Structure 1
Amino acid sequence: MTYSNTNDAGKNNQPLKNKERQFKGLSLTERQQARREKLIEAGIEVYGTHGFFAVTVKDICNEAKLTERYFYESFKKSDQLFQTIFLKLIDELQQNVMQAIMQASNSHEKMVDAGLTALLTTLKDNPRMARIIYIDAMLVQELHNQATIHETMLRFDRMIHAFVMLMMPNIPHSEREISWVSTGLNGYVTQIAIRWVISGFKQSLDDVLASCRVVFLALLESFSEKKN
């Protein structure tokens, strides 16, 4: 008579654990993430060098040394990769600016200089970032109706708003007025940055800094006078 081993039968009927197959010590998810990061870095290189409208998916894949099927594993189209890169670079730029401001002394003038210097230095040290944010992103926004890019650029409005409130917490102006002023300051600095980037950073950083800071300091002086 043959007896079945109920313990073995139970083991055979148990569902297998969902373990990802390892390859070179990496799971499938980790390999996909690694390929995605390579595509992002490649995108920064080729977009930042040649411009969004001159670059194809094939160009990005060649730079990343990946086949096109891996591109579509992570991104539906080139626009989506560009948007991902834009958001990544904006975050880096804003973090640099905010960190510099928070590390500066309580002097209004030094805080202005620290924030603007961090912005301009980051752009000059990273010309591909500068081109993507201040040239290509503007064109993509206009031609492709990219609401995300427009909304992200508004974060600079809010950052400047927070900056003004940090320096002058008791400022005698409404939130709405400060919001409009912040938008104006952002537009002013953005236009200067665009011109500087397009010129290939020919103007010295000190000259560009002076052009930006004069408006900030004039504004703070004006607000201070009204307060007094």
Structure 2
Amino acid sequence: MTEPYENLEEKQNKPSQTKERQFKGLSLTERKQARREKLIEAGIEAYGTHGFFAVTVKDICNEAKLTERYFYESFKKSDELFQTIFLKLIDQLQHNVMQAIMQASTDPRKMIESGLTALLTTLKDNPRMARIIYIDAMLVQELHNQATIHETMLRFDRMIHAFVMLMMPHIDRSEREISLVATGLNGYVTQIAIRWVVSGFKQSMQEVLSSCSIVFLSLLDTFSEKEKILKKESSS
């Protein structure tokens, strides 16, 4: 009787005292990493399509075409896989936003438009990412008390804080005040994003972009006016 593929693979790849043996050109470590990546991609597909609470470990393994023993080779439980996926997608989203901002002109209004456009475009082009970040992650955080998800979302506070300082390097406000403003801006955009994602991107991107931009532009106008007044007073 022919042995299962997994058993044959294991026999051919028992650790060597010198180095790992190769199987189809890959070491045991490389194959393990490849299986982990398969599970992550399967998780994005399954969680992003059906939602975290409707997906089992077996569902993930079926999607990845791997046995459950390989799931537990990389992850202790489904929460750990979800958290890994969430962090991966957040990194991708933040990278796209920051890249757009840095490539925009030095005009603060153009920076606002570029950053928010990158955020919304990434979400609309990747609905599974959007669902995982703005729907399931929020539920997992609330129901499972996931501190990591909460802390990761705070990275957007810091990103917006840096964005405000980039737009207005001479702003006359304390770090604490700018930090609070950044948290408020993050919350505002997050709530709009959640509503947009839940609706299935029903409203046009231009409408959503305009709604998100309002508070950033108002902030810019308010702080810019304050700077003008201070400069005028100092020159008097």
TM-score, scaled relative to structure 2: 0.89
Q: Equivalent residue for 1:174?
A: 174
Alignment gaps of 5+ in structure 1: 1-15
Give SS of 2:20's match: coil
Q: Equivalent residue for 1:95?
A: 95
- Post-superposition shift, 1:17? 4.1
Structure 2 CA distance for aligned equivalents of residues 17 and 153 of structure 1 = 44
Q: Equivalent residue for 1:28?
A: 28
Q: Equivalent residue for 2:65?
A: 65
Structure 1 CA distance for aligned equivalents of residues 177 and 104 of structure 2 = 26
- CA offsets 1:66-113 (integer angstroms, 9 cap, x no match): 000000000000000000000000000000000000000011110000
- Of 18-27 and 122-131, more deviation after overlay is shown by 18-27
- Post-superposition shift, 1:42? 0.1
Equivalent position amino acid for 2:133 in 1: I
Q: Equivalent residue for 2:164?
A: 164
Structure 1 CA distance for aligned equivalents of residues 206 and 175 of structure 2 = 32
Q: Equivalent residue for 2:226?
A: 226
Structure 1 CA distance for aligned equivalents of residues 169 and 114 of structure 2 = 19
Equivalent position amino acid for 1:154 in 2: L
- CA root-mean-square deviation: 0.7
Q: Equivalent residue for 2:145?
A: 145
Give SS of 1:156's match: helix
Q: Equivalent residue for 1:216?
A: 216
Matches within 5 A, 1:115-130: 115-130=115-130
- Post-superposition shift, 1:18? 2.5
Identity among equivalent positions (%) equals 85
Equivalent position amino acid for 2:198 in 1: I
- CA offsets 1:199-220 (integer angstroms, 9 cap, x no match): 0001000000000001100001
Structure 2 CA distance for aligned equivalents of residues 167 and 58 of structure 1 = 48
Matches within 5 A, 1:33-52: 33-52=33-52
Structure 1 CA distance for aligned equivalents of residues 23 and 65 of structure 2 = 18
Give SS of 1:19's match: coil
Alignment gaps of 5+ in structure 2: 1-15, 229-236
Structure 2 CA distance for aligned equivalents of residues 48 and 64 of structure 1 = 14
Structure 1 runs of 4+ aligned residues shifted over 2 Å read none
Q: Equivalent residue for 2:185?
A: 185
Equivalent position amino acid for 1:62 in 2: N
Structure 1 CA distance for aligned equivalents of residues 25 and 104 of structure 2 = 45
Asked if 1:79 corresponds to 2:79, the answer is yes
